[in-house]
Structure 1
Amino acid sequence: MKKVITIFSIFFLPAIFFVACEDRPDVYEFPADKYVYEIPDVPVTEDYVVGVAYETKYRDTLYHVWYDNGKKANALYTGTPVLGEYDHREDPDVLRQHLDWGKEAGIDFFVLSWGGHGMNDTILMNWEKLYAQDPARPKVVIRFDPGYRFRSGKDSLQLSPLHMDSLRYDLDSVYTHVMKHDFAYKKADGKPVMVFCNFTNTSQVPRINDFISFLKGSETIHNHIWLMAELGGGWKSPEQWGYNAVNGYNGPTNGYVRPDSIKPFDAFFITDISHNSYDRYYSQYSYLDYNYRYWQERMKPLGKEYIPTVQPGFDDRVNTPASDRFFIPRWKDDTGAYAISDISSQYNFSSFTENPYKKWANVAKRNVGESRIVMIYNWNDFGSGRNLEPTEEFGADYLQYTRQFFKKQ
């Protein structure tokens, strides 16, 4: 028996070794054509729906908006706003100008955060009046943040019927007094559109499906709403949010962001496409294109949609000098791309031959869903140079770019 095994080993094991060596390539070749490719120009044959995140600004150190904490000599923004350091509470004409600029840019809706009754209710009342005067101005989409109802300690929001009832009452109120009105953006089927955020807090919202079903199922809303989930920044895969190739839901949970987030929402988007990965920077347009296409292909069979996000630029060095995130440069007078903070002037972007914003727009247009919505982050985030709002450095250039890239001329 031992002799038989020895003879078998002499002939069979070398054969295995030969086949293994024969099948193994000498050098691994990265499939560059699959991940690194040029993004073609996408002509606008039909208008895209443009949504832009909108922040309320205050001249108050409490909000850390215009200034560093108590250090008013250190301005925390990139670029110089044409309107200066405005305050929504003090000057209602700020909103009028923003809506007029939004109309100029072809923006269909602004996304306004709402986290409890307060100053934003006043802004919304003013918004409705301004929209009634000119319905060509952008509409509003509410970004609903349940965080103001989160309880202290270890008790979850869902274990408190009182807090859950209060939250649903608030949402019903916004739905009735804002989202059903003419100045709120709706889909073609008449469903009001809303963004839901801050749902990754598993200690407060341990069962997201039950949580959303409870809110949407009220007698007031009765599921007549199209709900977009704000996934935050970062290029993550749908698997990291609970996608399962077998049935679409309840994917792996170990180490993932939120394992049950796919089911309760109608659409998904991220808020930041900046990154600190050189590989992504080297092939940033095709990598993001691949990511968006992957999401869209997996959401479509579920009757859901992925909303592509783009940014006019990115430069966070004023706020974070030691940041390792790559710039998304700006474009000026067809002379090359550059960022506008003092620290970033050492970088030379003259090798750019095309407006980066245009290339991001092409990525988005290649990957829109049935709604044709594209999200732009953001209108007035001067702190990280993502602002679409006019500055002294660029004037209204980026308003014109936005209309040119997303609206039929």
Structure 2
Amino acid sequence: MKKKHIYRYSLLVLLMSAGLLSCKKNDPTVKDNFLNYQIPDVPVTSNYTVGAFYYTFTTLNANVTQIPTVGKYGYTNGLPPAGIMQQHIADAGIAKIDYFIFSVRSPTLDNKNYLVDSTTVNAFLNAPNSAGINFALSYNLNTGLLGITNSGGTTGNGVTVETDPVKLAAFYNDFKRLAFFLGKANYQKVNGKYLLIINNAQDLNSKDNVALYKQLRANLSAMGFDLYIVGMQNRWSPPERYYYRFQNCTDAMYEANMGDVAGDNDRYWNFPQYTDQNWAYWKKTIEAWNMEFVPCVMAGYNYQINNPTTNQLSVQRTADGSWYKTFTNVAKRNASKSRLIFVDSFNNFSVDSQIEPTQAYGNTYLDITRQAFKLN
């Protein structure tokens, strides 16, 4: 009987050992990681519609190492030096960019800065070659001017735009005043509707965002402008976080400044895969809301320009623009049916995200943009 127990025990140990060995053979490896894949080249079967964010600045930061081909320049109260805008439009033509996106502040509550912004837009419109490219506006949502907060207040849920009827009226009036630009012949449209971007739309705290956007659309529709609204949400965040400020409100959404990895080194080292997974989730989620996703690509992101002592990892440009090329393929994998693409930026030298030609890399980033998003 004792021998029988020993035999059974030995057999049990043998089976357990075999099981452990079997498990070891199936232990996960690096190859099993869901991020272990390469972003494939995505061929262009039909053109994408590309808009590039256009920036203004007084002078170039002293830490900027990429010198524009046109030489160093700045804007005086929004006005570029003679010939600069004309050259920028010509450069955009090389990249086959469809339109520039100009940021505008509140015409009603921030008129002084709005005049600066509108000066830049008018400089574009007055350029002799402006008919060759379209433009669109990005409304720079300033919660402070509108009296909006996203926390605190009597309820703890912040102060909504409806709290002050005068400022609510100013908000609506801003868009009525912007209709002046929407009426220009080369204003950008999407599916026959006038494209309007709202910057930091996740901060538009309202008692009823659906009603707010419905009224905004009605106001502009009465003036002859049916809107296609794209709302911006801050980088590396899930779309559900602010669903009540976008769902049934905007036509599309995008995430800004993905190249700013916000100190997360995993995002830096696995940037294409992290962004691809993020955008695939975004696309699936908001398309289920009957909205579109607009991928927004960048040519680089350099923290040290504004803060030379920071130890954050910056995207360093390479001679062949390989990081940007990969980013454009991530964008094509995740674009929605209208095939909209944003490029941030045409000329934001303050973070080295520009595709504007420079003395170092020439037209490289213009060429990559054209080859990535347009049929040859």
Q: TM-score range, shorter-chain basis?
A: 0.7 to 0.9
Paired residue type of 2:250 = F
* CA apart distance, 1:145: 2.1
Contact 1:36 1:287 in 2 (8 A): no
Q: Distance in 2 between matches of 1:262 and 1:326?
A: 35
Indicate if the aligned counterparts of 2:56 and 2:74 stay in contact, CA closer than 8 A: no
Paired position in structure 2 for 1:86:
74
1:360 offset after TM fit, Å? 0.7
Matching of residues 293-304 of structure 1 within 5 Å: 293-304=280-291
How far apart in 1 are the matches of 2:32 and 2:222? 52
Report SS of the residue matched to 2:131: coil
Change (3 A) 1:150 1:291: same
Shift of 1:263: 3.1
The CA distance in 2 between the partners of 1:208 and 1:145, in whole Å, is 17
Local SS of the residue matching 1:217: helix
| Change over 3 Å in CA distance of 1:146–1:134 after alignment to 2 | closer
Aligned residue among 231, 236, 250 for 1:229: 231
The answer as to 2:167 corresponding to 1:163 is: yes
Deviation at 1:324, TM superposition (A): 4.2
Contact 2:49 2:340 in 1 (8 A): yes
- Provide the residue aligned with 1:208 in structure 2: 209
1:263 aligns with 2:230: no
Normalization by structure 2: what TM-score? 0.79
Q: Distance in 2 between matches of 1:367 and 1:290?
A: 10
Q: Report the equivalent of 1:53.
A: 53
**What's the CA shift for 1:46?**
1.2
| Helix, strand or coil at the partner of 2:279 | helix
Contact 1:78 1:384 (8 Å CA) reproduced: no
> Residues 240, 323 of structure 1: CA spacing in aligned structure 2 closer, same or farther, 3 A cutoff?
farther
Distance 1:146 1:273 in 2: 20
Amino acid at match of 1:236: S
Which AA in structure 1 matches 2:168? M
Which residue number corresponds to residue 335 of structure 2?
368
Which of 126, 135, 142 is equivalent to 2:137? 142
Map 1:232-311 to 2 at 5 A: 232=234, 234-242=235-243, 250=244, 260-274=245-259, 275=261, 276-311=263-298
DSSP 3-state at the match of 2:132: coil
Name stretches of at least 5 consecutive residues in structure 2 with no aligned partner.
Answer: 1-15, 108-113, 154-158
Is the Cα–Cα contact under 8 Å of residues 314 and 384 in structure 1 kept in the other structure?
yes
CA displacement at 1:304 relative to structure 2: 0.4
Deviation per CA, 1:202-242: give whole Å up to 9, x if none.
6x64543343233222153578101101113x222222233
Within 2, Cα distance between the matches of 1:49 and 1:324? 36
1:77–1:319: 8 Å Cα contact kept in structure 2? no
Task: Say if 1:199 and 1:205, in contact at 8 Å, map to a contact too.
Answer: no
Judged with a 3 Å threshold, the aligned counterparts in structure 2 of structure 1 residues 220 and 125 are, in CA distance, closer, same or farther, namely: farther
5+ long unaligned stretches in structure 1: 1-17, 60-65, 68-74, 243-249, 251-259, 338-354
CA contact (8 A) 1:144 1:196 kept: yes
**Contact 1:149–1:167 (CA under 8 A) maintained in structure 2:** no
- Does the 8 Å contact 1:309/1:375 carry over to 2? yes
Distance in 1 of aligned mates of 2:257 and 2:120:
26
The secondary structure found in structure 1 opposite 2:306 is: coil
Partner of 2:176: 172
* SS at 2:328 equivalent: helix
1:128 aligns with 2:125: yes
Distance 1:312 1:152 in 2: 33
**218-227 or 156-165: which moved more?**
218-227
Taking a change above 3 Å as real, the CA distance of residues 331 and 241 of structure 1, as seen in their structure-2 partners, is same
- Find the aligned partners of 1:287 and 1:146 in 2 and give their Cα distance: 28
Q: Kindly tell me: are residues 270 and 380 of structure 1, through their superposed partners in 2, closer, same or farther at Cα, counting changes over 3 Å?
A: same
- Structure in which a larger fraction of residues adopt helix: 2
Counterpart position of 1:151: 147
The residue type equivalent to 1:51 in the other structure is G
Contact preservation (8 Å) 1:191, 1:225: yes
Q: Which residue of 1 aligns with 2:10?
A: none
Hey, what's the Cα distance between the residues in 1 that align with 2:346 and 2:46?
23
Superposed CA deviations along residues 166-193 of structure 1, whole A, max 9, x for unmatched, are 2222211212x11132221101x31000
Structure 2 partner of 1:40? 40
TM-score of the pair, normalised by structure 1: 0.73
**Aligned equivalent of 2:350, options 383, 386, 390:** 383
Q: Matches of 2:138 and 2:360 in 1, distance apart?
A: 30
- Residue in 2 that maps onto 1:313: 300
Sequence identity of aligned pairs in percent?
Answer: 23
Which moves more between the two structures, 88-97 or 299-308? 88-97
1:158–1:211 CA contact under 8 A, matched in 2: no
